[in-house]
Amino acid sequence: MSFDHRRYMDEKRLWVNAELETRLASSGTPPVELHDAMRYAILGGGKRLRAVICLACADAAGGAPGVAAGPALALELLHGYTLIHDDLPCMDDDDIRRGLPTVHVKYGQAAAVLAGDALQALAFEWAAAGAAPAPHTPTAIVTELAQAAGSLGVVGGQVMDLAAEQEQPSAEAVARIHRLKTAMLFRCAARMGAIAAGAGDEILAGLTQYGENVGLAFQIADDVLNASSTAQQIGKPAGSDAERSKTTAVAVYGLDGARQRADDLVSAAVDALVGLPGPVDPLHAIAHYITSRTH
């Protein structure tokens, strides 16, 4: 029997959701509105792709079960905080996400900034919970997350994305923004999983390639979905990227060209999965899922 892609993704997503639900400070913990805003932002759904990639890469690298739990969950906190801040009026000014009011609409701007800030701190607390084993330094996982999250990672990508709204989109600008804004965190997910499993250089290099290519494919898929779907399908206003002259893959390559690029990137991701001691079917499943979003 072939590997059940959908079932694998569903099971992992449910596990991530249950862990987040349990580990986040409970509703009613003072300051109450802060912890409510944090739970609202994180527990409101999502594909949990970054966490699943981290867990699956740890498995593929031969890690013991659960070895990447802390880093995997930390990725969802980190990603969730960036969404809160990206939605703020001074940034993308989005009122709706996943069909619900964004955090600043529901709790106010100050609470949204502070909930994001607290979630970033918590992400590092969770990432640090398991020290990395040899051949890595014990704090290698925290360093990975910090670099992906910082001014040469996610935050730098958001700055470039905002600045690019003023300009004619170029292929180079799209590649640069996609890499920093999205692919760095997918790359980090793969690397943290591998590092938590104690992977050596060769395995780490292969999974790094996987993570980066899957991340680039994911952002293109996101651009394609935004350009081609209805608001109901994606839970936020459709076509909003074009309206704002966002620097997207669709603006540069067209819909078909963008789909082709996503396919090529997924192929490159899968090609990097060689010589791994653990199961790779889940990593194929994730890549497959990402391509399916563009068609």
Q: How many residues bind a copy of itself (CB under 8 A)?
A: 51
Q: Tell me if 169 sits within 8 A of 247, measured CB to CB.
A: yes
The answer to the question of residue 125 lying near a copy of itself (CB under 8 A) is: yes
What are the residue ranges of helices labelled H in the chain? 5-23, 32-43, 49-60, 69-87, 103-107, 109-128, 140-149, 154-164, 171-178, 184-196, 201-228, 231-234, 240-243, 249-271, 281-292
Q: Tell me if 85 sits within 8 A of 91, measured CB to CB.
A: yes
Which of 9, 52, 56, 149 binds a copy of itself (CB under 8 A)? It is 149
* Nearest residue (CB) to a copy of itself, 90 versus 171: 90
* Nearest residue (CB) to a copy of itself, 155 versus 268: 155
* Nearest residue (CB) to a copy of itself, 9 versus 184: 184
For the chain, where are the E strands, in sequence order? Answer: 96-97, 100-101
Helix axis angle for 49-60 and 184-196, nearest 10°, is 40
Nearest-approach distance from CB 152 to a copy of itself, in angstroms: 8
The answer to the question of residue 152 lying near a copy of itself (CB under 8 A) is: yes
Q: ∠187-117-12 over CA atoms, to 5°?
A: 45
Q: Could you count the other beta carbons within 10 Å of the beta carbon of residue 24?
A: 19
What's 295's DSSP letter?
A: -
* Nearest residue (CB) to a copy of itself, 9 versus 38: 38
The answer to the question of residue 52 lying near a copy of itself (CB under 8 A) is: no
* Nearest residue (CB) to a copy of itself, 63 versus 282: 63
| Tokens encoding 60 | 């593929």
* Touching a copy of itself, residues 201-240 (CB under 8 A): none
* Nearest residue (CB) to a copy of itself, 34 versus 205: 34
Cα 274 to Cα 150: distance, rounded to the nearest angstrom: 30
For residue 97, which phi and psi values (nearest 5 degrees)? Answer: -145, 135
The answer to the question of residue 171 lying near a copy of itself (CB under 8 A) is: no
The answer to the question of residue 102 lying near a copy of itself (CB under 8 A) is: no
The residues that touch a copy of itself, with contacts defined as CB under 8 A, are 25, 30-31, 33-35, 38, 81-82, 85, 88, 90-91, 108-111, 113-114, 116-118, 120-122, 124-125, 127-129, 131, 137-139, 142-143, 145-147, 149-153, 155-156, 158-160, 162-163
